[in-house]
Amino acid sequence: MNLMITKKIMKRGWLKVMLKQQDQADGIRRMSKSKPVRVIAVASGKGGVGKTNVSVNVGISLVQMGQRVVLMDADMGLANVDILLGVYPKYNLSHVLAGEKTLDEIMVTAPSGLKLIPGASGIQKMTELSTIEQAAVIRAFSEIDQQIDVLIVDTAAGISASVVNFSRACQEIIIVICDEPTSLTDAYAFIKLLNRDYACNNFHIIANMVQTVQQGRALFQKLNKVTDNYLDVTLQFAGAIPYDEYLRESVKKQTPVVIGFPRSKSAQAMKSIATKIGNWPLKTQAGGYIEFFIERMVKYSQKDIA
């Protein structure tokens, strides 16, 4: 009897060792297979300042530069990237979480070549996933990393836990501001929260709906002055996008401005921002791989409910 128990324990011990080795082997295989992907969050604090238009148009511009780009709609309340792109996805991330679809099956490719991961309320379920489900989601994302160069995460308005978790899981954070006092105070509040609570200290700023590039730069400097005085952060000016009726028109037509009005001022600005992003140094250390983004996202949301 005792001998049997000892054997069982030994067996379990071996099993544990074997499983651990298998885990490590999987990890190494994954690492050697995967390549760094730029994972960029687009946030703002205040709503309606142009996050989704920036995500879509900068994303398409990157596609036009030869990059393979996936845009993830992380706005759970008002998922609207599909509307701007004029595509009608049947499935979303909740179907991947439920194990009904693979990530490849839910991704929709817009005519511009930009790929979309439709968000919907499924993402919120990240907080309720079991360890096995989490692993499945992470695997689903690791499998697409061969096919993409950039993942853009369009977040919702506000500074809810979900927006914060998405943003801090990304390697790069773009904050869109416009010339309104509440846009600056909300952007500041968001930066402060990410810096104070999560040690994020690098942010890229895009000034949208400005009259001139100078006005955009002045807006950036206004925000930079306050963060310099009170926080330990570095803000970088990623560019300015003029207020442009063509952009409004493109929203109505459900055709992104860089496609519908490629010579318009806003389209030109989107393209030069994309060129800048294309020149950002690629982060190759841990965290530059897409599965780490998802791992972090799952981990952070788990902490939230703990």
Ligand X SMILES: Nc1ncnc2c1ncn2[C@@H]1O[C@H](COP(=O)(O)OP(=O)(O)OP(=O)(O)O)[C@@H](O)[C@H]1O
- Give me the least distance between CB of 242 and Mg ion, in Å please: 19
Query: In whole angstroms, how close is the CB of 56 to ligand X at the nearest point?
Result: 8
Residue whose C-beta lies closest to Mg ion: 52
Contact 208, 44 (CB under 8 A): no
47 near ligand X, judged by CB under 6 A: yes
Task: Give the one residue of 38, 45, 52, 293 binding Mg ion; rule: CB under 5 A.
Answer: 52
User: Which 254-293 residues touch ligand X, going by CB under 6 A?
Assistant: 266
Burial 149-165 (b: 16+ CB within 10 A, else e): bbbbbbbbbbbeebbbb
Hey, which bits of 187-247 come out as E strands?
Answer: 202-210, 234-242
Helix (H) or strand (E) holding 134: helix 131-144
206 near 239, Cβ under 8 Å?
A: yes
Query: 54 or 290, CB closer to ligand X?
Result: 54
Pick the binder of ligand X from 41, 45, 50, 63 (CB under 6 A).
50
Site for ligand X in 4-23 (CB under 6 A): none
Q: What is the CB neighbour count within 10 angstroms for residue 18?
A: 10
Residue 51 interacting with ligand X (CB under 6 A):
yes
Please report whether residue 224 would count as binding ligand X according to CB under 6 A. Answer: no
Residue 263 CB, nearest approach to ligand X (Å): 15
Is residue 56 within 8 Å of 86, Cβ to Cβ? no
From the list ligand X, Mg ion, none, pick the one residue 27 interacts with, judged by a Cβ distance below 5 to 8 Å according to partner type: none
Count of all residues that appear for the chain in the document: 306
Which parts of 156-245 are beta strand (E)?
172-177, 202-210, 234-242
Establish if 243 lies at the interface with ligand X (CB under 6 A).
Answer: yes
Q: Which stretch binds ligand X (CB under 6 A): 48-56, 105-113, 188-196, 222-230?
A: 48-56
- Dist CA 260 CA 252 (whole Å): 11
Rounded distance between C-alpha atoms, residue 241 and residue 270, angstroms: 7
Applying CB under 6 A, what is the total number of residues that bind ligand X? 20
**Residue 51 in contact with Mg ion, rule: CB under 5 A:** yes
- Residues lying near ligand X in the complex (CB under 6 A): 44, 47-53, 75, 78, 157, 208-209, 241, 243-244, 247-248, 251, 266
Residues in contact with Mg ion by the rule CB under 5 A: 51-52
